[in-house]
Amino acid sequence: MEEQTGNGVLVHCEISDGRLAPVATEALGAGSRLAAGLGQGLSAVLIGSGVGEAAQEAIARGAAKVYVADAPFLQDYSTEAYLHVMQTVVGQSMPAVVLMGQTPVGRDLAPWLALRLDTGATMDCMALAIDPDTKRLQMTRPVYGGNAQAVQVCRTDPQVATIRLKSMAPAESDEARQGEVIDVTAAIQTPESKVTTRERKIEPAAGVKLEDARVIVAGGRGMGSSAGFDQLGELAALLDGAVGATRPPCDAKWALDSQQIGITGKIVSPDLYVAVAVSGASQHVSGCSSSKVIVAINKDPEANIFRVADYGIVDDWKAVVPALISSLS
C-alpha cells in the first residue's frame, strides 16, 4: 500500500472580471470533496493583477488557505511567471493534489508544473475520486477520441490534474466561512520571459458564451456556407443557446474560431447538444461527448455522430432546421 505524503489539495483559481471563473468554483468543489476523502485541508492560489478581492470568495467556497500573488506583471498569463508562482506556492503548501481547469491556461501550465516537480499531470478529467485504501487520486478522462474512459493513477506527489468545464459540481458559497489569506507576492521575482505580450484583444461576445451555454447548436462541414450558420443562430436563439462548429466551418470562415468545439477547440458539456450536419469525427466528438443529451441531424444514416447521439434524425438539415425554427417560433 502506498503512503499519502502530501498535505491536502491545492486549487489554481482562474479569475474572470475580478471574480472566480466558473471552472474555479468547480475545481474548488472537486477539491473540497477530495480533501475530505484525504482527511486534509483545501487551499487555493490566485495569480494576477487586482485579484486580492477574490480571495474571500475562494474562502467562502471552501478554501481554508488562499495564496495570493498580485502584481502588474501577472496581469496577462505568462508561462514563466505563472509557473514560478505555482512552484513557490507548492513549495510552501506541499499539497498531495494540485487541480486546475482544462482551459488555455491550465492546458499550458499543468504539464510545465508537473515537469518542474518531477511528477505527472492528467489532463481533461471528467471525474476525480480518492481510493479509500491507497489514498491515491483516481482520475477519469476520455480516451480514443471520447469513445472510452480511462481511470489513471499518478504514483508521485503532487498529483496534478486538470478538470473539464461543467464536469463537476461547483462549490457552494458560505460567507460565514473563515480562512487565511497568505500574500506570496513578495516572494515572487519577475522571471526573464522569452515571450512579451504586445497586444491583448477581447473578442466581444454576442449572446450566451459557448462555455456557459446550457444548449448548443453546432454545425459541421455539411452546412455548406455561412448562410447555414445564420439559420443555426436563429435556432440557438429560440433555445436560449449558443452556436458551435466543427473545425472545417471555422477554417472556411463560416464560423468564428472561438466557436470551434473539439480537441483543438473548446470542450463543452451542455444539457442539450444539437449536432447539425456534423459527421462525428473523433476530434470533434471528444469536445462534446460529455453533453447530457446529444441530438444528431444528418442525411447520412452511417454518420459516426449517430453512434454517440441519444436521438438521431436522418434527413437533410435544410428540411429539419427550418421546421424546428417554425415550431419553436
234 is in which domain, residue-wise? 215-328
CATH number of the domain residue 108 falls in = 3.40.50.620
CATH number of the domain residue 261 falls in = 3.40.50.1220
Can you list the residues of the chain whose pLDDT is less than 50? 1-4
- Residue 222: per-residue pLDDT: 94
Would you say residue 192 lies in a domain?
A: no
Would you say residue 4 lies in a domain?
A: no
DSSP H or E segment with residue 137:
strand 137-143
299 backbone dihedrals φ, ψ, rounded to 5°? -80, -10
Would you say residue 206 lies in a domain?
A: no
Q: How many separate domains does the chain show?
A: 2
- Residue 7: per-residue pLDDT: 85
> Per the omega criterion (within 30 degrees of 0), is the bond before 158 cis?
yes
- Among 148, 169, 187, give the residue marking a domain's end: 187
Task: Report the 10 Å Cβ neighbour count for 62.
Answer: 26
| Cell numbers linked to 238 | 429560440
- Residue 205: per-residue pLDDT: 61
Examine the domain organization and report whether 39 and 165 are in the same domain: yes
- Residue 17: per-residue pLDDT: 86
What's the whole-model pTM score?
A: 0.81
pLDDT over 90 percentage in the chain: 75
DSSP H or E segment with residue 233:
helix 226-238
